């Protein structure tokens, strides 16, 4: 907890020297984003900064940077710092990122042409210490020893000892103890000894010990120089010989203390930081986990800064039998709702409900102590569509409430979905963040006594729930304009929000599992895992962990001397492709056992994972996430039912375990065929492609016949396979190299194939190029329904980043439009099921496929209904082809 009366403390950082240290301390290969931006220096610098902010609680902060290598020192002595390695580009590219990080923390950074960061720091220290009445303490965090001269009773240097975590606290006593001279004499000592890192040679053969002795004996370097002939021995001789160097060193290592920075210490007060832009940058840099949390915990708003009006919540836990009256008083006003409880795996419970209004009124309903009258009032209010409610992520609450026997209607805004449409790549509009901001303000306003209690006391469960309810309401207002601007209103109210109830239903229903069948498979594959492992050990004559790429590399490349495969960050890949390649070259039997071992252990793992998630009702209840995938797709977790094996025969046996539940007739699967290519045909308006789809014939064969200019019945399987790969790869931004890899043909042939393809389908070529151009211009891509994805990297100077963004720009409208389409299909199907009064139900969505459980006697009707609703989900220039199958299991229902 922060102390409002804490003493003023100025923290100064040498941005350049710290970042430079971090750059060499942290292995660059372990710190880079998916797009190739190195981040080790940003990471290390930020980590040091945040730790010091946390541990030292400064009130004022500034970061100084060097502008360039050219300073008055290099003018005076051209060799100054010349021995330093040429600054690597991997380092320089990170400096702007550090500046952006500081911007978002609202921390001032300062550069001054012709001078070094050290001089800026020295100037600020001098200013800060000049006013003796202010009581300002100074901390200097730097990796440059020149700053030791700035140490006084009121200013301390924090010097990183090794890596970026250990800081040595250099007080006057510490300096004197370590170097034998007081801080202000340190540069005199350094002048004699020299400074390797600045390429300032000192007196050969003279170390810190002798230098300190001379300085102390003669009272300062000036006197040592004046009485230089009194020093005897070889060292004295050397000193006299290198006197020029010493004098030059002393002149160069003196820090400039009177720069005109145009900034005062008072200007450096820490103010509230820009949370949204910080989060955005953390996302961009892919800083997750520990550092991210540390940043969020530490860089809190400062109480001295002007604070936005805190949330004024006038509310408490409602007394028995007063719930109805409270709700009546609210009437039809919009209300923020936060549900406390648990949900998932097909069940849930509610502990409490928090309600908040824009005018500050709030209430908490403790579900444990509800009277029957309260219960009825809550139930009626929740179910009343005319009482508008705002929630953040309504699906969980919906499930918890349903478990309690309560219906939820009148949800006018789900802020999690609104935020997703505004910023699908980010997690910036996080309700937890907004609530936390509010709680921090509450803490700042509350007395010191109850600060620590706010989070765990019972009353505070209610309090924080109400704050959260209010935060949802405020977030909704904050996002409203953004949603309009992003053109997402229609998607939000017509697609994403209505989908929530359907997903909740699917999760609650789950899918039945044949446990015995799964257990049989587990035993079967388990047997083979052991067999293959033994066979593999026998071949190489020892037992290793076959699941360890590290140990495998030793065996394959060192002991068996196989040719090196493609590089990974940590060595050479042992993935299935590479192992197959190695087998072709070496025919070593170990590889076959290893590959097979991988395959069966994976199958066994999948089965074990599934078995663990089967609930007491004999069904698996996945969780669908609606705000994860940047393109608009759903994702599925715990377990992921969108990646159940299907490609191999053995994999499909796992699909046999997903079966129709008791009381139902069968499973039905319905999927779109070539949905992405159809969308591409629609968006590109390529006549030939549209014609290919309208013909209703084998699409890949049809396109192959066009590309190779042969009659449809002369298309060979090879031709078809090549064009099929091309068709699928197009929407991903496939390169000639990638295509050649996949088809196992030479890059030249692949390149020729692509050229031929694009000449045949000119509309596709123009469309793909146009999509990227337009996205670069607008800053985002758009799907058929107007779902956006922002891609700022399209204008990046970094080729890797830019090209990665270009591939995303190619793919997002296509994958995203397909996502739009199947979401609409789900809504239409759900509505039609209800309209028709059918008991059949939707269970799963797998991107282009829906799985249903068919009620007795509804098979034909459901088949027709689903076909119609899926095919009619959009009106494209090409037909939407839907294939349907039914069977006892998911496998049998496939077609």
Partner DNA sequence: AGCCTGACGTA
Partner DNA sequence: CGTACGTCAGGCTA
Residues near DNA (CB under 7 A) are: 30, 165, 288-290, 293, 545, 547-551, 568-571, 573-577, 598-599, 602, 605, 609, 612, 625, 628-631, 633, 635-640, 642-648, 651, 728-729, 732-735, 737-738, 741-742, 804, 807-808, 811-812, 815, 846-849
Which of 692/812 has CB closer to DNA?
Answer: 812
60 and 268 Cβ atoms separated by less than 8 Å: yes
Which pair of structure tokens corresponds to residue 281?
A: 């940058």
| DSSP E strands, 714-869 | 780-782, 788-790, 841-845, 849-855
Which of 137/599 has CB closer to DNA?
Answer: 599
Which pair of structure tokens corresponds to residue 252?
A: 């160069």
Which of 290/797 has CB closer to DNA?
Answer: 290
Which of 733/786 has CB closer to DNA?
Answer: 733
Query: Which of 419, 417, 422, 428 has the alpha carbon at shortest distance from 499?
Result: 417
DSSP assignments along 410-458, one per residue: -EEEEHHHHHHHH-TT---S-HHHHHHHHHHHHHHHS-STTTTTTTTSH
Distance between start and end Cα atoms, the chain: 62
* C-alpha span between 77 and 244 (Å, rounded): 12
Beta bridge partners of 335: 389
Which of 646/778 has CB closer to DNA?
Answer: 646
Cα distances (angstroms) measured from residue 595 to each of 148, 359, 576, 583: 60, 65, 7, 10
Q: How far is the CB of 17 from DNA (least distance, A)?
A: 21
Q: What is the widest separation between alpha-carbon atoms in the chain?
A: 113
279 and 430 Cβ atoms separated by less than 8 Å: yes
Q: How far is the CB of 475 from DNA (least distance, A)?
A: 22
Which pair of structure tokens corresponds to residue 209?
A: 């010990």
Which of 31/91 has CB closer to DNA?
Answer: 31
Q: How far is the CB of 226 from DNA (least distance, A)?
A: 50
CB atoms closer than 10 angstroms to residue 457 = 12
Cα distances (angstroms) measured from residue 388 to each of 324, 385, 403, 408, 513: 16, 7, 22, 11, 39
Q: Count CA atoms closer than 13 A to 25's CA, side-chain side.
A: 21
Q: How far is the CB of 787 from DNA (least distance, A)?
A: 13
* C-alpha span between 678 and 672 (Å, rounded): 10
* C-alpha span between 541 and 528 (Å, rounded): 19
Which pair of structure tokens corresponds to residue 687?
A: 């006549």
Q: How far is the CB of 536 from DNA (least distance, A)?
A: 14
Q: How far is the CB of 753 from DNA (least distance, A)?
A: 14
Which of 444/629 has CB closer to DNA?
Answer: 629
Q: How far is the CB of 894 from DNA (least distance, A)?
A: 9
183 and 175 Cβ atoms separated by less than 8 Å: yes
Which pair of structure tokens corresponds to residue 377?
A: 């009032």
Beta bridge partners of 887: 667
SS3 284: helix
Q: How far is the CB of 188 from DNA (least distance, A)?
A: 37
Which of 220/645 has CB closer to DNA?
Answer: 645
Which phi and psi (to 5°) does residue 203 adopt?
Answer: -85, 120
Which of 398/804 has CB closer to DNA?
Answer: 804
Q: How far is the CB of 374 from DNA (least distance, A)?
A: 38
Which of 544/839 has CB closer to DNA?
Answer: 544
318: left (phi over 0), alpha (psi -120 to 50) or beta: beta
Which of 66/496 has CB closer to DNA?
Answer: 496
The dihedral over CA atoms of 201, 204, 209, 210, expressed in degrees to the nearest 10, equals -120
Q: How far is the CB of 125 from DNA (least distance, A)?
A: 31
**Residue 34 burial (CB < 10 Å; 0-12/13-18/19+)?**
exposed
Q: How far is the CB of 606 from DNA (least distance, A)?
A: 7
Q: How far is the CB of 654 from DNA (least distance, A)?
A: 9
Q: How far is the CB of 124 from DNA (least distance, A)?
A: 31
SS3 667: strand
* C-alpha span between 825 and 867 (Å, rounded): 10
Which of 220/729 has CB closer to DNA?
Answer: 729
Which of 689/805 has CB closer to DNA?
Answer: 805
Q: How far is the CB of 608 from DNA (least distance, A)?
A: 7
Which pair of structure tokens corresponds to residue 438?
A: 């509010």
387 and 332 Cβ atoms separated by less than 8 Å: yes
Which of 86/569 has CB closer to DNA?
Answer: 569
Q: How far is the CB of 775 from DNA (least distance, A)?
A: 12
Which of 455/737 has CB closer to DNA?
Answer: 737
Cα distances (angstroms) measured from residue 200 to each of 192, 255, 735: 10, 15, 52
Which of 155/817 has CB closer to DNA?
Answer: 817
Q: How far is the CB of 632 from DNA (least distance, A)?
A: 9
Which pair of structure tokens corresponds to residue 869?
A: 């609703």
599 and 549 Cβ atoms separated by less than 8 Å: no
């Amino acid at each position: 907890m922060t102390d409002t009366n804490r003493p003023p403390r100025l923290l100064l950082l040498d941005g350049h020297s710290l970042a430079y240290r971090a750059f060499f301390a942290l292995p660059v290969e372990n710190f880079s984003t998916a797009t190739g931006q190195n981040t080790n220096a940003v990471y290390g610098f930020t980590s040091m900064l945040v730790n010091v902010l946390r541990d030292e609680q400064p009130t004022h902060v500034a970061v100084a940077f060097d502008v360039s290598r050219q300073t008055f020192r290099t003018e005076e002595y051209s060799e100054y710092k010349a021995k330093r390695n040429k600054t690597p580009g991997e380092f320089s590219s990170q400096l702007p990122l550090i500046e952006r990080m500081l911007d978002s923390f609202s921390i001032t950074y300062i550069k001054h042409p012709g001078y070094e960061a050290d001089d800026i720091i020295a100037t600020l220290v001098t200013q800060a210490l000049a006013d003796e009445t202010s009581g300002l303490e100074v901390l200097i965090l730097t990796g440059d020893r020149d700053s030791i001269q700035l140490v006084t009773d009121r200013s301390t240097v924090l010097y990183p000892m090794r890596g970026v975590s250990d800081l040595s606290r250099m007080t006057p006593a510490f300096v004197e103890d370590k170097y034998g001279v007081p801080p202000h004499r340190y540069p005199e000592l350094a002048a004699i000894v020299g400074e390797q890192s600045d390429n300032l040679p000192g007196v050969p053969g003279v170390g810190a010990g002798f230098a300190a002795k001379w300085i102390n004996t003669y009272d300062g370097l000036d006197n040592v120089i004046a009485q230089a002939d009194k020093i005897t021995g070889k060292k004295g001789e050397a000193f006299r010989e290198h006197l020029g160097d010493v004098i030059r060193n002393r002149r160069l290592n003196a820090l400039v203390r009177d720069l005109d920075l145009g900034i005062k210490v008072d200007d450096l007060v820490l103010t509230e930081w820009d949370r949204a832009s910080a989060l955005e940058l953390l996302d961009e840099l892919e800083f997750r986990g520990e550092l991210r949390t540390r940043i969020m915990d530490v860089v809190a708003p400062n109480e001295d800064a002007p604070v936005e009006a805190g949330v004024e919540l006038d509310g408490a836990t409602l007394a028995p039998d007063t719930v109805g009256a409270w709700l009546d008083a609210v009437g039809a006003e919009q209300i923020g709702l936060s549900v406390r409880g648990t949900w998932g795996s097909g069940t849930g419970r509610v502990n409490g409900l928090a309600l908040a209004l824009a005018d500050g009124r709030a209430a908490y309903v403790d579900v444990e102590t509800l009277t029957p009258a309260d219960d009825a009032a809550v139930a009626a209010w929740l179910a009343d569509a005319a009482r508008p409610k705002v929630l953040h992520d309504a699906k969980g609450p919906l499930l918890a409430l349903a478990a309690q026997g309560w219906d939820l209607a009148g949800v006018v805004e789900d802020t999690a979905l609104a935020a997703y449409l505004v910023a699908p790549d980010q997690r910036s509009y996080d309700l937890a963040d907004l609530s936390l901001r509010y709680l921090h303000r509450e803490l700042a306003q509350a007395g010191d006594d109850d600060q620590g209690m706010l989070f765990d006391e019972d009353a505070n469960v209610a309090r924080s729930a109400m704050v959260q309810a209010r935060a949802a309401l405020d977030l909704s207002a904050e996002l409203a304009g953004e949603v309009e601007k992003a053109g997402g209103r229609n998607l939000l109210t017509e697609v994403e929000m209505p989908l929530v109830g359907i997903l909740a239903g699917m999760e609650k229903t789950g899918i039945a599992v044949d446990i015995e069948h799964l257990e049989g498979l587990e035993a079967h594959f388990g047997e083979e895992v052991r067999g293959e492992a033994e066979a593999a050990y026998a071949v190489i004559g020892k037992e290793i962990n076959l699941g360890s790429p590290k140990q495998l590399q030793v065996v394959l490349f060192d002991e068996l001397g196989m040719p090196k495969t493609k590089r990974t960050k940590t060595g050479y890949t042992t993935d299935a492709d590479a192992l197959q390649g190695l087998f072709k070259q070496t025919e070593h039997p170990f590889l076959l056992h290893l590959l097979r071992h991988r395959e069966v252990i994976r199958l066994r793992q999948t089965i074990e994972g599934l078995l663990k998630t089967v609930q007491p009702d004999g069904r698996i209840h996945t969780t669908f996430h609606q705000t994860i995938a940047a393109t608009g797709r759903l994702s599925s977790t715990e377990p992921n039912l969108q990646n159940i094996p299907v490609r191999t025969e053995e994999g499909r046996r796992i699909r046999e375990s997903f079966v129709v539940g008791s009381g139902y007739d069968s499973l039905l699967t319905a999927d779109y065929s070539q949905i992405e290519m159809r969308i591409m045909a629609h968006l590109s308006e390529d006549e030939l492609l549209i014609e290919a789809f309208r013909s209703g014939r084998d699409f890949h064969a049809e396109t192959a016949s066009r590309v190779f200019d042969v009659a449809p019945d002369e298309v060979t399987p090879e031709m078809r396979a090549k064009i099929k790969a091309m068709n699928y790869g197009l929407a991903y931004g496939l390169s000639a190299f990638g295509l050649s890899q996949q088809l196992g043909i030479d890059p030249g042939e692949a390149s020729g194939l692509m050229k031929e393809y694009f000449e045949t389908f000119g509309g596709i070529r123009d469309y793909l190029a146009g999509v990227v151009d337009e996205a670069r211009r607008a800053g985002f891509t758009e799907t058929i329904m107007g779902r956006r994805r922002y891609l700022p990297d399209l204008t990046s100077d970094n080729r890797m980043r830019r090209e990665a963004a270009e591939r995303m720009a190619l793919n997002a409208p296509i994958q995203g439009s397909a996502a739009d389409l199947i979401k609409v299909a789900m809504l239409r199907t759900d509505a039609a099921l209800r309209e028709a009064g059918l008991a059949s139900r939707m269970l799963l969505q797998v991107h282009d496929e829906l799985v249903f459980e068919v009620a007795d006697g509804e098979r034909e009707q459901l088949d027709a209904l689903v076909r119609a609703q899926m095919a009619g989900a959009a009106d494209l220039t090409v037909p939407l082809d839907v294939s349907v199958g039914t069977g006892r299991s998911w496998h049998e229902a496939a077609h």
